[in-house]
Structures are given as C-alpha cells and as structure tokens.
Amino acid sequence: MGKLWFDNAYFVIGTAYAGKSTMVKELAKVHDGIACEENYHDAKLPELDAKEFPCLTYTRDIKDWHDFIRRSPEEYKAWIDGVKKECEIVELQMLPEICSRGKKVFVDTNISIAKLKEIAPIEHTVVMLADPEISVRRFFERPDAEKQFLYQLIMEEQDPEAALANYRRGLELINSREAYEELRDSGFAVFYRDEKRTVEETRALIEKAIGL
C-alpha cells in the first residue's frame, strides 16, 4: 500500500461530551456526505484476530462483564490506550474504500494526532473539547444502553460505592488534564463546548475552519 492521503475526508477528534458525534452527523447531513460515526470500526469487529487486536476483541470475547468493571484504573486506561492504537489500524484499512465513493466523509476518529497530520490537509481535522471533569461526572448520566449496562454491573457488585469509585478513577486517568492539553495544543482548529451555542452555529464555525 502506498502513502495514504485523504482529500475528501474530514476528521473530528477531542474529548467526551464535546459534541463530536452530533457534529459528524450534522456535517454529513448538510453536505450530503458519509458519516463515520463513533465506533464505526465495529463493522470489522467480528473478523478481527484476537492475537493481532487483543484490546478491540477483549469485549467481543469477554465471558463475564463484571470482569470489565473490576479492572484497576491503570488496567482500564492501558486498555483504552490499546484500543485507540488498534482502532487506528482498522480505520486506515476501512477509509480508502469509504473515501472512494465520491462523497465527502466526516469521521469521528481514534486516529492519532501525528497520523492525522500525515494523511490529510491540516485544516481537515478539528478538535472539540469539553472540560475533562464533565466526562467523569456525567459518564453515567447518558441514557445510551452501553453506559446504563455498565452502571447496572457496578450496582450488582458487593460494594457498589467502591466499585463506582474505582471505575470513576479510571475515567479520570483517561480524561486527564494532560490528554486535554495535548489535544488543545495539537495545531488543529479547536472548538470548546458552549451550551449557549446552537448545533447550527457550531457547524458554521467548523465549516469555516475546514473550508466548506
């Protein structure tokens, strides 16, 4: 495979609760594009080799989900870091075909900052940021099934309060101030969560940044 370069792909990176998923869907809708939404790489999950992708296949092959929430904060963060690296490999396998369909492609991505600078014009990536504390504090407030499933597992533990504290500590390690600052200082256009701004206003700001 030659050097990958994506002229028609636009990437959104950043922290949780910053609006990445909403923006990818909104941009694709307005520009008749393709939305590669959060975890779009899951389409490849059934065929992945557990030896090559141990982190991505961990949840696919898990026998007891209580083991997932019982891990130490350090184990949880190491797993998340591993997932991101493996996701990058899978995404870079998927994107050439997706981008060959002749439409603009908007990607909620796990691809690293360094790799994004190699594969697309720098103005094709934007960073969306929310305060790291929000990601920890509001993790279980979202109604999506995945987070409610994890919360239920925690509540089933012998000491639910200790289990919840353990899980939140993992979230704190993942959503650290250092991770936030690395994204903020990446060199890409940065947009901060603002409750007073509408989705359409945020989209307009991003469109200007990426030249649409």
For 49-108, the pLDDT digits (tens) are 999 999 999 999 999 999 999 999 999 999 999 999 999 999 999 999 999 999 999 999
Note whether 209 and 126 are within 8 A (CB): yes
Q: d(Cα 175, Cα 77) in Å, to the nearest integer?
A: 9
Q: Mention every residue, 6+ apart, whose C-beta is less than 8 A from residue 2.
A: none
Q: Is residue 199 part of a domain?
A: yes
Q: Is residue 160 part of a domain?
A: yes
CATH code for the domain in which residue 27 is found: 3.40.50
How many percent of the chain have pLDDT more than 90? 88
* pTM of the entire predicted model: 0.91
Of the pLDDT bands very low, low, confident and very high (cuts 50, 70, 90), residue 146 is confident
Q: What is the pLDDT of residues 46-57, one digit of tens each?
A: 999 999 999 999
Q: What pLDDT sits at residue 47?
A: 96
pLDDT at 10 over 90: yes
- 14-52 core/surface letters (b: 16 or more CB in 10 A; e: else): bbbbbbbbebbbbbbeeeebbbbeeebbeeeeeebeeee
Q: d(Cα 143, Cα 138) in Å, to the nearest integer?
A: 11
Structure tokens at 14: 């950043």
Range of the domain at 92: 9-203
pLDDT at 2 over 60: no
Q: What pLDDT sits at residue 52?
A: 97
pLDDT at 119 over 60: yes
What domain count does the chain have? 1
Q: d(Cα 53, Cα 47) in Å, to the nearest integer?
A: 10
Nearest CA-CA partner of 151 in 171, 131, 134, 132? 171
DSSP 8-state assignment for residue 12? E
Q: Is residue 3 part of a domain?
A: no
Q: What pLDDT sits at residue 135?
A: 80
Q: Is residue 208 part of a domain?
A: no
Q: Is residue 191 part of a domain?
A: yes
How many percent of the chain have pLDDT more than 70? 99
Separation of CA 129 from chain center: 12
Q: Is residue 105 part of a domain?
A: yes
Q: d(Cα 191, Cα 206) in Å, to the nearest integer?
A: 8
Question: What is the C-alpha radius of gyration for the chain, rounded to an integer number of angstroms?
Answer: 18
Nearest CA-CA partner of 150 in 85, 211, 69, 206? 69
Q: Is residue 211 part of a domain?
A: no
Q: Is residue 116 part of a domain?
A: yes
